[in-house]
Amino acid sequence: MFHFPVTESTLSAAHLQQLLIERYRLGNGAKCTLFRTGMNHLYQVADGDKRYVLRVYTFNWRTKKEVTEELRLLLHLKNNNIRVAYPIRDINDGYLQDIAAPEGTRYAVLFSYAEGEKNPRFSTATSYHIGVAMAKMHQAAQGFVLERIHYNADTLLIESLRRTKLFFNTPSKGMGFVEQLTKYLESRYAQVNDDTMRSGAIHLDMWFDNMHVKGESEVTFYDFDFCGNGWLCHDISYFLYQLYNTNQEEGAYQEKFARFLAGYESVIKLTDEEKKFLPFGALGIMLFYISMQCDRYDTWSNIFLNEDHLNRLTGSLNRWMDFNNIRME
């Protein structure tokens, strides 16, 4: 029988379970269950009282080099006592599994489980501890160079606009806003004095959905799939943008932002240039993620990604700009 080619498969949890038992010496009673498909596929793994997360990267999403660089960063952070979900070593002293999926070779990595839980409505006290944890991570990541993408005006703005226009290829109000904002931010990025900005390895997807909190103070970061090189304050920018969107009650955002900043600066002070840049960095990252959704259209599906979705995103960006008194003039 002819086996018809596929573009994306969902690997059997039962067969992955056997692979994990063999390659990581897990107990015969270990269980692997599918948790979520999407940009990557995640599986929950339980071995007695020990828990792990298996990530199976989608086909042609990351190169082997990109994945190994992500793991190198995580091990560097772990060795510097930063709480992260780190890769687990297999019986051959490796971290990366090559899997011959129907669509081609896919990569899988077993990660430690981040203790605690995610909570979009975390307390003001927790906001302080997130600031402390992020600052400590940035201390360890400053000057750490990855053989991965450099996040700058070219990659966040110019290349992003090119990808987005390939998908939304007819004139619209939403695309008009995206083009205008891209041009405005290009000018804003060009004005930044690079010498006043701390650089290193950045997470780029730093929000409540990628951190677990145990109690109110023990913060563990995970999902470094978008890590790369850039100004460290980009992580802060994106965190603040998401904090604003989940805390729009009167005064809630300002209070949590103040405590976050106090926590961060109890470890390391932001430069004046970094503080000025925070509202703009979030906009650059959001333009990048819009383009990623367009680029991975098959992953997100046409129900999710359409003109209405673009309008919702640009509406959110407009609210952020109004709140921070940003005018494209």
Residues with Cβ within 8 Å of residue 198, at least 6 apart in sequence: 138, 142, 231, 232, 233, 271, 274
pLDDT value of position 208: 96
Q: Looking at residues 132-161, what average pLDDT do you find?
A: 98
Asked if pLDDT for residue 196 goes beyond 90, the answer is: yes
pLDDT > 70 in the chain, percent: 100
- Per the CB < 8 A criterion, the answer to whether 28 and 124 are in contact is no
Question: What pLDDT digit, counting tens, does each position of 110-143 carry?
Answer: 999 999 999 999 999 999 999 999 999 999 999 9
Q: Which residues pair with 228 in a beta bridge?
A: 202
Q: pLDDT tens digit string along 227-238? A: 999 999 999 999
User: What was the pLDDT predicted at 300?
Assistant: 75
Q: How many other β-carbons are positioned within 10 Å of the β-carbon of residue 224?
A: 24
Residue closest to 231 by CA, chosen among 156, 324, 129: 156
pLDDT(302) > 80: no
Per-residue pLDDT at 103: 95
DSSP track, 178-223: HHHHHHHHHHHHHTS-GGGS-EEEE-S--SGGGEEEETTTEEEE--
Helix axis angle, 124-141 to 64-79, nearest 10°: 110
The candidate with the shortest Cα–Cα distance to 239, out of 218, 253, 225, is 253
Looking at residue 282, its pLDDT comes to: 98
- Predicted local distance difference test score (pLDDT) of residue 3: 81
| pTM for the full predicted model | 0.96
Q: What domains sit in the chain, N to C, each tagged with a CATH number?
A: 13-112 (3.30.200.20), 124-323 (3.90.1200.10)
Given a cut of 90, is residue 299 above it in pLDDT?
Answer: no
CB-based contact 9:102 (threshold 8 Å): yes
